[in-house]
Amino acid sequence: MTLTNKRDALCGAALALGLMAGPALAIDPFFPEFGNNGIDVVQYDIDLDVDPASGAIKGNTGLTIKALRRTTSFGLDLHGLDVTRVTVNGRAASFTRTGGKLNITPGRPVPAGGVMLVDVSYGGIPEALADPTAPQDELFLGWFKYRKATYVVSEPVGASSFFPANDEPADKAFYIFNITVPEGFTGVANGVLVGSKPVDGKRRFTWAMLEPMTTWLATVHVNKFRSDLSRAPDGTPIRVYAPFGIPQSHIDGYAKAGEMLTYFETLIGRYPFGSYGSVVVADPILYYALETQAMSVFPAGNDPPSEGLVAHELAHQWFGNSVSVAKWEDLWFAEGLATYFEFVWEHRNDPAAFDAAMLDNYDYVVDRKLKAAVVEAPDQLFSDRTYLRGAAALYALRLQVGDSSFFNLLRHIAQDNRGGSITSEGFIRTAVRFSGDASVRPLLEAWLYDDAVPALPGLAGRKAKPGPVKRPDIAGSRCGRHHNVRSACR
């Protein structure tokens, strides 16, 4: 769903602000094999019957699609799995499989602006895809089976391992999940838990994500979970799903998200979703957490989860999820802000300590000569450039405009782009407008696009502390392959 028709659908309002318009028709140059710029998916209805013992699924995904041009045939992303039947607007449609595409030819052409209700029946054992952000490592994305359980981590392009998708970051949609599992198991997905009921000796869990979500944030988990429900001080339900045997002290780490959520609301405005949750995955090959929308994924090996990590994935719900990046090259917006809020949370009662930590981060960025925060290739997406130089860029902006103007800007970004997406250029434009400070443009352009590390405003002659420059102790990409400390994260 593009921002434009989300607004039309939800508020009947014309698109008012140019700053929000994401390039919904672009194919992301980082992953040209993925996505289809001729269609706009409005909603996915994903029904999966999962056998956690064998890993097999029986699936049916309904897609409500708007044709952006006259359509005689179109492609969706889908890897592996056997497709048994496709219908478009209730009539059987012919289809072929080529590479990672499911190509569909409706019985009759669909006019520009027309609606297609597409129904895809499929099954088999999903296989995770090779991770194109880590070409030299054996890393995978999407649907995984681990012991008698399954889980999903898709960033950036794993979604098509378990449902037919328009796997394009700017095409956001609503999602309904029906996850059917054997008795004793729990099916978890994004959003609000609608309920569960017995079906043919099994149990079906229904989840609804009724805020626009990008494909890579969709997640489904099947396991024997213990579940804990609490409430944030503001009333938002906070769920934790952990495999049995995870200690209470570990689970309490995620429950802390409620307090963080309510604190972040005072800075950046209302939490954008109806509930928040954390789901724990015990597979030792998973070494990072992921901010899957309203239901973050954490590796059990972080014992207990650091507050920084919990704060990081929570901050992503505003920045990266509700307001997502229209193009992968702009991921600094998500990772830089999530990292910034790790520092905010840790030093919330000590502004001087916050500044000191940000200066240490700056010294690290200088010492490592971290290049532009906007990256040019997929293998840079989860590097220190997006996380740490991204956070340093935000700190430079905050030094320039002051704390209250800075948070004012962030609140506007979160509010005005809610459910939509943003680009670096959109961020710069908004920052200039809300600060009323024209120097913000060259400042941000230098931080985001130039490889040289700019000076911090007001601190041009400053010298780094003597001694070795340590990498800041932030959660973000710490466990990533870039730092070769994956084992420390287990």
The residues binding ligand ARG (CB under 6 A) are 131, 133, 155, 288-291, 312-313, 335, 382, 476, 480
Alpha carbons 372 and 362: distance in angstroms, whole number: 14
- Which of residues 47 and 379 has its CB atom nearest to ligand ARG in the complex? 379
Rounded least distance, CB 333 to ligand ARG, Å: 12
Q: What is the dihedral of CA 378, 132, 26, 170, to 10 degrees?
A: -90
Task: Provide the minimum distance between the beta carbon of 261 and ligand ARG in the complex, in angstroms, as a whole number.
Answer: 17
DSSP for residue 165? B
Compute the least distance from the CB of residue 422 to Zn ion, in Å. Answer: 16
Encoding tokens for residue 188?
Answer: 């978890």
**Distance in angstroms (rounded) separating the CA atoms of residues 175 and 48:** 13
Alpha-carbon distance of 454 to 456, in angstroms, equals 6
Shortest Cβ 311–Zn ion spacing (Å) = 11
Q: How far is the CB of 343 from ligand ARG (least distance, A)?
A: 15
Counting every residue, how long is the chain? 490
Q: How far is CA 349 from the centre of its chain?
A: 29
User: CB under 5 to 8 A by kind: which of Zn ion, ligand ARG, none does 149 bind?
Assistant: none
Q: Interacting stretch for Zn ion, rule CB under 5 A, among 169-177, 207-215, 275-283, 338-346? A: 338-346
* 338 binds Zn ion, rule: CB under 5 A: yes
Residue 160 or 405 having the CB closest to ligand ARG: 160
Name the residue nearer to ligand ARG (CB basis): 290 or 388.
290
Q: Which residue number is nearest to Zn ion in terms of Cβ?
A: 338
Residue with tokens 């359509």: 71
Cβ neighbours around 86 below 10 Å, total: 22
How far is residue 133's CA from residue 290's CA, in Å, rounded to a whole number?
A: 15
d(Cα 339, Cα 344) in Å, to the nearest integer? 9
Smallest separation, CB 86 to ligand ARG (Å): 30
Q: With the C-alpha atoms ordered 148, 180, 189, 100, is the resulting torsion angle positive or negative?
A: positive
If the CB atoms of residues 202 and 483 are measured against ligand ARG, the closer one turns out to be 483
Report the residue number, 296 or 400, with the smaller CB distance to ligand ARG. 296
Among 209, 206, 219, smallest CA distance to 47 is for 206
Q: Which does 278 bind (CB under 5 to 8 A by kind): Zn ion, ligand ARG, none?
A: none
Q: Phi and psi for 7 in degrees, rounded to 5?
A: -65, -45
> Which DSSP helix (H) or strand (E) runs through 9?
helix 3-11
Nearest distance from residue 212's CB to ligand ARG, in Å? 18
State both tokens at 204. 């079906």
**Pick 225 or 333: Cβ nearer Zn ion:** 333
Q: Which is nearer to Zn ion, 71 or 190 (by Cβ)?
A: 190
What phi and psi values does residue 60 have, to the nearest 5 degrees? Answer: -140, 120
In sequence order, what are the residues at sequence separation of 6 or more whose Cβ sits closer than 8 angstroms to the Cβ of residue 55? 125, 126, 145, 150
Q: Which does 133 bind (CB under 5 to 8 A by kind): Zn ion, ligand ARG, none?
A: ligand ARG
Taking CB within 5 to 8 Å according to partner kind, which of Zn ion, ligand ARG, none is near residue 382?
A: ligand ARG
Q: Which is nearer to ligand ARG, 39 or 388 (CB)?
A: 388
Cβ-Cβ contacts under 8 Å for 465 (sequence gap 6 or more): 360, 363
Stretch that binds Zn ion, among 106-114, 247-255, 327-335, 369-377 (CB under 5 A): 327-335
| Residue 391 interacting with Zn ion (CB under 5 A) | no
- The listed partner (Zn ion, ligand ARG, none) that binds 155, CB under 5 to 8 Å by sort, is ligand ARG
Give me the least distance between CB of 6 and ligand ARG, in Å please: 23
Residues of this chain that interact with Zn ion (CB under 5 A) are 335, 338
